[in-house]
């Protein structure tokens, strides 16, 4: 079974960027591209639904009208989703993707993505979905739940696309980030792109040895890379380095290596998710 770049689109302002980054990844990985729209059946109750207070004489008639209204609402949602998928397919074809696919599924997003995990090579989704709060640092609960549930790389993207040229890897020497370095070295996704490996902590001999290993691993793969060890608070230090070096994309491990965090998104990752204004690739 082929593993696809799976792009989640909805009615939010992120869908265009999701499409563009998914096309970028699909073409670099030479992997098939699938656009996915999930219709959540757990819709919030409509205002003015007083079915529980309906009198006996009219109760059956009004309940039928409410059921009919739900059916119409579901049909409209399906049609809107189909229209969004058609637009994404056309955009991908215009950018040179020969046979992009589209899937519309009913159900809950995290459960649907878990079901499709075996078909997914890379998951691309926006920082916030259409139902998320609009505050600039808010990360919708769906995104954090997806990160916890999935065992595939996840590319979380901002609202606008920028062709990645300079990629920063947040490296802590732990098992997950060492595995991430090896994944990057073996993947065609970043060929020809400049890398910055950044460790946050004191520049002691142990840190330097770990950084040298990471630099050597990527250089042996033919990638251009430079490294730095910075002192300071992790999230603020990474953000400062990003801004100083005009970084286009950040790569992180989705979890810290503390056992206490094994079921939770690491605190640094959560902070970066909240404040990210560039794509964030989370490696598992």
* CATH number, residue 134: 3.40.50.620
To 5 degrees, how large is the angle CA 274–CA 125–CA 177?
65
Residues 120 and 176 in one domain: no
The whole-model pTM stands at 0.82
Residues 146 and 195 in one domain: no
Q: Looking at the domain assignment, is residue 181 inside a domain?
A: yes
Residues 278 and 203 in one domain: yes
Q: Looking at the domain assignment, is residue 68 inside a domain?
A: no
Residue 81 CB partners (closer than 8 Å, separation 6+)? 37, 39, 104
Tens digits of residue pLDDT in 139-181: 455 777 888 788 899 999 999 999 999 999 999 888 878 888 9
3-state DSSP helix/strand/coil % of the chain, to nearest 5: 45, 20, 35
Query: Which residues form the domain of 199?
Result: 166-283
Torsion sign (Cα): 109, 267, 154, 150: negative
Q: Looking at the domain assignment, is residue 54 inside a domain?
A: no
**Between 258 and 142, the higher pLDDT residue:** 142
Residues 199 and 266 in one domain: yes
Residue 87 CB partners (closer than 8 Å, separation 6+)? none
Residue 68 CB partners (closer than 8 Å, separation 6+)? none
Q: Domain count of the chain?
A: 2
| pLDDT of 121 higher than 70 | yes
Q: Are 44 and 33 in contact (CB under 8 A)?
A: no
Give the residue-averaged pLDDT of 20-42: 92
Residues linked to residue 228 through DSSP beta bridges, in sequence order: 198
Which pLDDT does position 207 carry in this prediction? 86
To 5 degrees, how large is the angle CA 183–CA 110–CA 83?
100
């Amino acid at each position: 079974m082929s593993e696809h770049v799976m792009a989640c689109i909805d009615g939010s302002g992120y869908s265009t960027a999701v499409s563009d980054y998914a096309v970028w990844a699909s073409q670099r990985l030479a992997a098939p591209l699938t656009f996915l729209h999930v219709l959540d059946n757990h819709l919030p109750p409509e205002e003015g639904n007083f079915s529980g207070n309906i009198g006996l004489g009219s109760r059956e008639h009004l309940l039928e009208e409410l059921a009919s209204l739900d059916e119409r609402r579901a049909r409209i949602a399906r049609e809107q989703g189909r229209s969004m998928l058609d637009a994404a397919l056309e955009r991908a074809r215009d950018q040179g993707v020969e046979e992009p696919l589209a899937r519309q599924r009913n159900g809950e997003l995290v459960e649907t993505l878990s079901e499709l995990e075996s078909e997914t090579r890379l998951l691309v989704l926006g920082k916030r979905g259409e139902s998320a709060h609009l505050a600039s640092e808010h990360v919708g609960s769906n995104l954090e739940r997806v990160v916890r549930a999935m065992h595939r790389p996840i590319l979380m993207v901002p609202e606008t696309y920028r062709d990645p040229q300079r990629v920063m890897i947040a490296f802590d020497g732990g098992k997950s980030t060492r595995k991430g370095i090896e994944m990057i070295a073996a993947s065609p996704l970043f060929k020809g792109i400049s890398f910055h490996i950044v460790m946050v902590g004191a520049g002691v001999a142990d840190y330097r040895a770990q950084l040298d290993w990471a630099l050597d691993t990527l250089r042996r793969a033919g990638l251009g890379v430079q490294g730095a060890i910075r002192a300071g608070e992790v999230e603020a230090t990474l953000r400062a380095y990003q801004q100083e070096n005009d970084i286009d994309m950040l790569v992180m491990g989705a979890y810290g290596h503390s056992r206490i965090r094994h079921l939770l998104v690491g605190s640094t990752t959560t902070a970066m998710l909240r404040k990210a204004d560039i794509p964030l690739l989370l490696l598992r």
